[in-house]
Structure formats: C-alpha cells, structure tokens
Amino acid sequence: MRFSGFRIIAEALTGQKGWRPLWRDPDPQPAYDIVIVGGGGHGLATAYYLATVFRQARIAVLEKGWLGSGNIGRNTTIIRSNYLLPGNEPFYEFSMKLWEGLEQELNFNAMVSQRGILNLCHTDAQRDAYRRRGNAMILAGADAELLGPDQVRAMYPFLNFGNARFPIKGGLLQRRAGTARHDGVAWGYARGADLRGVDLIQNCEVTGFRIEGGRVRGVETSRGYIAAGKVGVAVAGSSSRVMAQAGMRLPIESHALQAFVSEGLKRSIDGVITFGAGHFYISQSDKGGLVFGGDIDGYNSYAQRGNLPVIEDVAEGGMALMPALGRARVLRIWGGIMDMSMDGSPIIDRTSVEGLYLNAGWCYGGFKATPASGYAFAHLIATGTPHPTATAYRLDRFARGHLIDEKGAGAQPNLH
C-alpha cells in the first residue's frame, strides 16, 4: 500500500474503506538469520536498513510490549546535529542527512520539520564556546550560525531579554535542525521493514541468551526459544537488564527523564529554543501544545515517571527564559527511562560474545540519532565492521581511555 495525495482523495471518496494495517502481526519462526531485540526507533531502523541497504534476509524484531511503547514514543522530538567532538559530530550530521530524505525513502509522513534550533548564550564565555562548537559543526559539513542579541530578539521578541542574572547575549542557530513526529518515525520504519519481509513480533520479551562456545545461538523469549545467527540488542533504558542475561555489566545507569506538554495555544514558537543558563528547552507542536523539558531526575530509575523537584526546576528555567509561559496550563507530564552512559555518548559495537551486538547508551538524545543509529548498527551486523561515522562508539573505549565526553563531566551519568 503506497501513500500518495491521489490515494487520500480516492479514499475520501470511497468512505476510507481501503486502508489496511501498516504491518503484519506474525508469530515467531523457530529460527532467523538476524534477531534484533527491542522494537523502538533504533531496533526498527536497524531492521529496515538490514533489509534494504545491506540486503539481509530472515530478520525478526522482538519487542516486549507494542512497537513504539518505549522512548521512541515518549521523547520531545528534537532532531539536530550540533555536537562538538569529532567522535560525535560526523555521526549526527549523517543522521541529519538521513532525516532530510527519510519521508521520501519510507513513503511515510514522519512530519520532519526543519524549523531550526537556537541555543541561547548568556555569558561571553558561553558565546566563545558556541563559536567553537559552530566551527566544529561546519567542519563536519553541518550548518551553524552565531546570532547576536538583536537577531535573537527579531526571532523571538517574547524572551526575557531584561533578565539581570541571565541576559541573552546571542545564540547558536542550526537552521536544518528541528522536530519530527516521534511515533510516526517508528511506524514508518516498522512499515518499511515489514514490507521487506522483516517479522515484527510484539509482546515477545527476551528473557535470556543461549550462548555456546562463546557464540550466541539464539534467545529465550516469553514466546519460546528463537534460534538466531546474529543478535543485535537495542533496548535503550533496559540495556543493563538485557545484557546482564549474557553475563555483562555495562558502563550505563538507567535514569528517568520527564517531558511536559501544555494546552493547545496559538502559534508563537516557530523553532526549538534552549536556555543556556539552566536546563530548559521548548518547542511548539503542530497542534499548538508547548512541548518542553529539562534535566533527568538524577537517580537510578526504571519507573517511567519522575518526581516533583525536577518539575519545579523545569518550571523555574522556563519562567526565567519566557515569563509568558506562566500563563499556560500543563496538560500532560510523562517519563521515559534513559540509558545514561558513563561519558554521555552511545555504544554501537560487538561484544565479547561472538554474534552478539550492542546498541546502547543514548542518554536523553537518541531520537535524533534514530536513522544513523539504525544504519550504523545494520552496517556493523551485516559487514562486521563499524560504519565510518560510528568508529568511536566502542564498548572498550572506557578501558582504553578514549572517552567521548561532550560535557567533560566524567564518569557520573547524572551530570551528562
């Protein structure tokens, strides 16, 4: 079933009776060549690229709940490639380029909207740091512009320019950044993978690995044993739990991150804005809701909900930046579980078990990475070598001292 303008008109004229489910709901086969654990954005994208770009067959995605029930459907939808370090920036820019062609490729409306992200700076030192970051971005082929306070005022006149403690001194703008419909991305990849014969198996929790002679042979699941030539794990906040079943301890802590949405309001915020003097960011959804968030809660959690102190902190950050926010009513708050790594950067690598691959450590920023993460993980699983933009994301980098620590915060996950 292809989507097109013609199709929509035809369906409208015939009572919308021709639409079909976007993917099959198959029972698991006894064996696959490749099993991907986790039906979030990264797992689905991996399966899609394995089946398309890398021409692999007999692939299954095993998801313990329903597709998109994890972080892929819980995030605040920001996509961007404004990183500093050489291990990161080329990867995120690769992801940005994949976003730019994603909807055509998938024939699916993921509402990719390049509305721009503006990181505000409030001190001279912060402006210098943004200048450096912008230059690093441009070197990696991304776009970046440093704005002065007048240019920021022209874009967003309602910000608190008169704030004595946190004066707005300008900002770093990436125009190609923006937002995408988060669960639309999951659905698009799921449909694309299903169309190429990938079995998407829901309500199928992986409960163990069968490992013989240092090689993975298959996975134990809530729906029985499934044999597999190769197994790729992409379970985000559950990474430590799942890999513990293979006897591994990871450089990861799981933490809760909350998101907030207000009632629908008239269009006022065109792009994404981040506050530089506290942790607060905001955008406006196409339905008009203000979508905002801030820091992780800061202690180990698998609860998929947070607590009041961070809600207060986010509200304070929002009020310092945009006092008009105080008039908006919050409609919904929810949480997701972040796989916070020890240097704040991800892992896409082989493991000590032959045939078992790991994709984890995305912290609070893995949505933007979805296309490149899937592509790079598929590359690794299919070819045995890392994708050129993902060579730094090794599991042994912690032992070797080659950390990718954007914030310079050290091995303290709640500070990244």
Partner 1 sequence: MLIPHPLLGPRDAQEFTYLGDASLIDRPDGMADGAEAAFCDYVYLRDNPAGVHRELWFHEFGDRSWLVVTRNTVTHEILGAELAADVARRGR
Ligand X SMILES: Cc1cc2nc3c(=O)[nH]c(=O)nc-3n(C[C@H](O)[C@H](O)[C@H](O)COP(=O)(O)OP(=O)(O)OC[C@H]3O[C@@H](n4cnc5c(N)ncnc54)[C@H](O)[C@@H]3O)c2cc1C
- The C-alpha atoms of residue 122 and residue 413 are separated, in whole angstroms, by 25
**Cβ atoms within 10 Å, residue 266:** 6
CB nearer to ligand X: pick between 44 and 159? 44
Torsion angle of alpha carbons 136, 140, 142, 146, nearest 10°?
Answer: 20
How many angstroms separate the CA atoms of 252 and 119, rounded? Answer: 27
By CB under 6 A, the residues from 194 to 213 that bind ligand X are 205-206
Q: Which of 169, 181, 368, 397 binds ligand X (CB under 6 A)?
A: 368
In contact, 343 and 280? CB cutoff 8 Å: no
Element (H, E) at 94: helix 89-106
d(CA 46, CA 39) in angstroms, rounded, equals 10
Residue 376 interacting entry, from partner 1, ligand X, none, C-beta within 5 to 8 Å by type: none
| Position among 43, 218, 276, 289 found at the interface with ligand X (CB under 6 A) | 43
The residue among 236 and 356 lying less far from ligand X, judged by its C-beta, is 236
The count of chain residues that interact with ligand X, using the rule CB under 6 A, is: 39
Helix (H/G/I), strand (E/B), else coil: 349: strand
What backbone phi and psi angles, to 5 degrees, belong to 280? -155, 135
Q: Is residue 78 a contact residue for ligand X (CB under 6 A)?
A: yes
Of 56 and 95, which has the nearer Cβ to ligand X? 95
- From ligand X, partner 1, none, interface partner of 37 (C-beta below 5 to 8 A by class): ligand X
Find the shortest distance in angstroms from Cβ 303 to partner 1.
6
Yes or no: say if 108 and 3 are a contact pair by the CB < 8 Å rule: yes
Per-position x/- string for 228-257, each x denoting binding to partner 1 as judged by CB under 8 A, each - no binding: ------------xx--x----xxxxxx---
Pairing of strands 224-233, 356-360: parallel
Q: Which does 170 bind (CB under 5 to 8 A by kind): ligand X, partner 1, none?
A: none
C-alpha–C-alpha distance, residues 314 and 75, integer Å:
16
User: What six digits make up the tokens of 65?
Assistant: 């709940």
Minimum distance of ligand X from residue 124's CB (angstroms): 28
Contact set for partner 1, span 332-351 (CB under 8 A): 342
Site residues (CB under 6 A) for ligand X?
A: 37-43, 62-65, 69-72, 74-78, 205-206, 234-238, 242, 257-259, 293, 336, 362, 364-368
Site residues (CB under 8 A) for partner 1?
A: 240-241, 244, 249-254, 298-303, 307, 309, 342, 398-399, 411-414
